[in-house]
Amino acid sequence: MLAVLATTFPFFALVLCGWLAAERGWLPDSAIPGLNGFVLFFALPCLLFRFGRDTPIFELLNPALLGVYLAAALLIVFFTVTVTLRPPVGMKDAALGALVAAFPNTGFMGVPLIVALLGSQAGGVVISTILADLFVTSSVCIALAQAGTNMRAERAAFVQALKAAGSNPLPWSIGLGALCGTLGLELWGPLNKAVAMLADAASPVALFTIGAVLSRSGRANRAAGRTTPPRHYLPVAAIKLLLHPALVFALAAAARWLGAPLSQGQVIALTLAAALPSASNVSLLAERYGADNGRIARIILASTALAFLSFSALATLLIEAAAT
């Protein structure tokens, strides 16, 4: 347990540093979009390019792995909608709440954290979950959020979600890296060094930015007088941190027992990806689609704060079980 905590503590400590910096005013809110832009368009694409280049293409697009993860994600989405869809939570809020229950923070937190715990071979697994969530999970939840309007609006929402995923630089950086790896292409030396420097900056800046974004959301909700009872967000955080990884592990173990090409290490990496806290960018989607962003922000904050213990405990359990 102490060895795992020694690995996970710095990651969550950087999130706390970002939160404190924004809370204290050391980092102005006007600087947060710049940090986000640096991570999303420069540092994280370079990190994912590097993993995409160094990971065999079958590991990035393992049908068994993607099938297990997407099955679990869709089950979590429809379960969360079913148990939360009651006044005052309408379909739009239930659908976006389901997205934070099924969409872990794999981009900003998961890739560096799980690789630090399990080694570089886990990178391909985590990258696969990013692709699945960007193109499928988020698209389904956005379409559900528009349910009840009209068929044309629902279809437009689904198409818009796919376009947003396609315009995201992360899938393109993964694809470009995979192409270079498959063709054996090498970057020009100085360019490769620049990519490496940006990739190395991705983890600390991304984690710091998560904390700052959570602080900004919390202060915005307090200033607007928005209050959300714990019963409207803590159960969803529990679904994210407990039920989601349990379901992924059960489905992956069953698929492996049935002969699917999944190694024990892949099952562990997939489970830990699901055990990550909710993706912080879902609060932006909540604002865009007119959902209760106060509730979404509290789910993300609660899952991030509690994940230090839940994620560390699950990682210890899985790693020690694999070692025996």
Q: How confident is the model at residue 146 (pLDDT cuts 50, 70, 90)?
A: confident
Task: Give residue-wise pLDDT tens across range 175-212.
Answer: 999 999 989 989 999 999 999 999 999 999 999 999 99
Q: Where are the domains of the chain?
A: 2-323
Its CATH class, for the domain covering 2-323, is mainly alpha
Residue 160: is its pLDDT beyond 70? no
- Is residue 289 within 8 Å of residue 139, measured between CB atoms? no
> pTM to 2 decimals?
0.91
Q: 52-84 pLDDT, tens per residue?
A: 998 888 888 899 999 999 999 999 999 999 999
Decide: 205 and 31 in contact? Cβ < 8 Å. Answer: no
Among the listed ranges 13-17, 153-157, 222-226, 280-284, which one has the minimum average pLDDT value? Answer: 153-157
Q: What is the pLDDT of residue 149?
A: 56
Residues listed for the chain: 324
CA dihedral 29→30→32→35, nearest 10 degrees, is -150
Q: What percent of the chain has pLDDT over 70?
A: 94
- Tens-place pLDDT, residues 116-128: 999 988 999 999 9
